[in-house]
Structure 1
Amino acid sequence: PRSLSLSLPSSSPMNKTKKLVASVSTLLRRRTYYPSNFRCNPLATVAVSSQTYLSRESLQPCSAKPLPISVGELQFSGRDFCSESCDKRSSVCWNCGFSSAFLFCESCRSIQPVDHSVDYFQIFGLEKKYELDPGSLEGKYKDWQKKLHPDLVHQKSQKERDYAAEQSAKVTEAMRTLNKRLSRAMYIMKLNGIHVNEEETITDPTLLMEIMEVREAIAEANDSKELNQIRSQVQEKLKQWSDSFDEAFQSQRFDEAVKCIQRMTYYERACEEIVKKL
């Protein structure tokens, strides 16, 4: 139960104090209702003078804006209050109980079970945005595999060997997904609740003609020098559409972003065809 600190005149009799506490409690019980997502701040106080004020910090939904709410003689005011649990996910090691274990426990060096709510950007400690430095992935990926690779726990319990296989696979998949422009674009759209059908047919005649010409050039190339020249041109096109996607995504023009991904798909496949032929 939440305790309220009441500031009363020193001359007030004890029976008046009891009545005042009862009246405030009754007023709150009868005339107010708060959803289950309200938080209670035990440090909040109620000051009683000519009017009664209840600090809004004592009851505040995590996502609410600081708007005044009047309930009879009660005036709610203050700043937004939200506990750290709204922003941070606490992970407790299954083996030793260490409270800051993430993928791997630094205290007892046990591999942790996969947390499916952790996204690929969080694994690498990156901001959730499209443009990133590939070098920031490589180093962190190697660091994780030095801790999570299944070969490192072959003498441990079957449970931890299973954890190692699952965590190592997830980190590898995260690396592959974020390392390429196309898969990274599709993944960040997925995180925003947007599914992209990369197989959807494109009807833009200019793009279709350009792709046909690229494929013909790949098929007719006689040596690696020609293929590398074609790949350089295709990668430039891929980069242009990648930049267009980033701009559209940041501006939340998601329909346009989807079209950029569909075009990136064509150029990505052209690059793959060149690599196979080299």
Structure 2
Amino acid sequence: MWMKKLHHSTRISAIVSRAFNSLDLTSSVSISTLHDSAIFSSPLSSLSLSRLRRRSAPTLLLSNLTSILSRENAIFFVKDESPFSSLSESSAKLYCWNCATEADDATPFLFCQACRSVQQVNQSIDYFQIFGLGRKYSIEDGELEKKYKDWQKILHPDLVHSKTQREREYAAEQSARVIDAYRTLADPLSRAIYIMKLEGMPVDEEERITGPELLAEIMELREAVDEAEDAQTLNQIQAELQEKLRNWSKSFEDAYLRKNFEDGLASIRRMTYYKRANEEIVKKL
């Protein structure tokens, strides 16, 4: 049964037949020898050592088959049904589901450079990696926008209508994630919150403000907005808020560079409030 599954689930049926035909009854091989062979070292192999131990597979046939697979470079013939396969937990290598080409470590694996097949979303690739950026707070808007447009030229659903249903679904998922990544990184506050999440310091955006100094500032600002009689006054208050946002954004960057997450969280609290106050002013204008 195990040989029937191998024969029909992969593209190596011809190789299996050759193994049968050239079987040498005088040869022998151990399980440890098989484990070191190409069929087990291949990240896309559907066999495993544990399966061989559970099954009483003909040792001689497996020896012959392994030898042939090594010569034929089996990685190009045996494919996994999963979108990605990993060589090990530590290496976390990614392979194209369509052509088995290994992903370039220098670029996010959203689509295959070799066959240009769109890949399934991989949550281990963070938003910064999607745009080829290091995990840093300071980002140039023009650079981010350019890379966002480059991805949309590849992944937008309207541009993959001729591809398979599988790839169209992958493209829709990837496109949506790229959009979310762009919106997150383009906004200073959401970018700061995302960075803290990656650092294992999730931010409670509904946290109540308890500091007396900030509470007093909030009360004063609310009164100023409520008492504003014209758009000019509101625009002036808005300009002051935006300046505060820039200052506290810089404070967050400094805290993050020092890995002072407590000061980073304090900066985020300030930025959160100023952004909400600015949104209220926009509604009144």
TM-score, length basis structure 1 = 0.64
Query: In structure 2, which of residues 91, 98, 115 is the aligned counterpart of residue 95 of structure 1?
Result: 98
Distance 1:181 1:235 in 2: 12
Per-residue deviation, residues 46-83 of structure 1 (Å, max 9, x unmatched):
xxxxxxxxxxxxxxxxxxxxxxxxxxxxxxxxxxxxxx
Larger Rg: 1
Query: In structure 2, which of residues 113, 120, 139 is the aligned counterpart of residue 113 of structure 1?
Result: 120
Distance 1:277 1:104 in 2: 45
Distance 1:92 1:271 in 2: 46
Question: 2:157 is matched with which residue?
Answer: 150
Query: In structure 2, which of residues 243, 264, 267 is the aligned counterpart of residue 260 of structure 1?
Result: 267
User: Higher strand share goes to which structure?
Assistant: 1
Change (3 A) 1:86 1:228: farther
Query: Following superposition, which runs of at least 4 residues in structure 1 exceed 4 angstroms of deviation?
Result: 85-89
Question: 2:202 is matched with which residue?
Answer: 195
Alignment length (residue pairs): 195
Per-residue deviation, residues 122-175 of structure 1 (Å, max 9, x unmatched):
001111111121221100000000100111122322211110111011111111
- Contact 1:198–1:261 (CA under 8 A) maintained in structure 2: no
The unaligned stretches of length 5 or more in structure 2 are 1-87
Opposite residue 173 of structure 2, the aligned amino acid is E
TM-score, length basis structure 2 = 0.63
The unaligned stretches of length 5 or more in structure 1 are 1-84
Question: 1:124 is matched with which residue?
Answer: 131
Q: CA deviation at 1:98?
A: 2.9
Change (3 A) 1:88 1:131: farther
Q: CA deviation at 1:205?
A: 2.3
Identity score, percent: 60
Query: In structure 2, which of residues 142, 164, 167 is the aligned counterpart of residue 160 of structure 1?
Result: 167
Q: CA RMSD in A?
A: 2.3
- Contact 1:104–1:112 (CA under 8 A) maintained in structure 2: yes
Opposite residue 260 of structure 2, the aligned amino acid is R
Opposite residue 281 of structure 2, the aligned amino acid is I
Question: 2:280 is matched with which residue?
Answer: 273
Q: CA deviation at 1:223?
A: 4.3
User: Higher helix share goes to which structure?
Assistant: 2
Opposite residue 95 of structure 2, the aligned amino acid is V
Question: 1:179 is matched with which residue?
Answer: 186
Query: In structure 2, which of residues 245, 255, 258 is the aligned counterpart of residue 248 of structure 1?
Result: 255
Opposite residue 161 of structure 1, the aligned amino acid is R
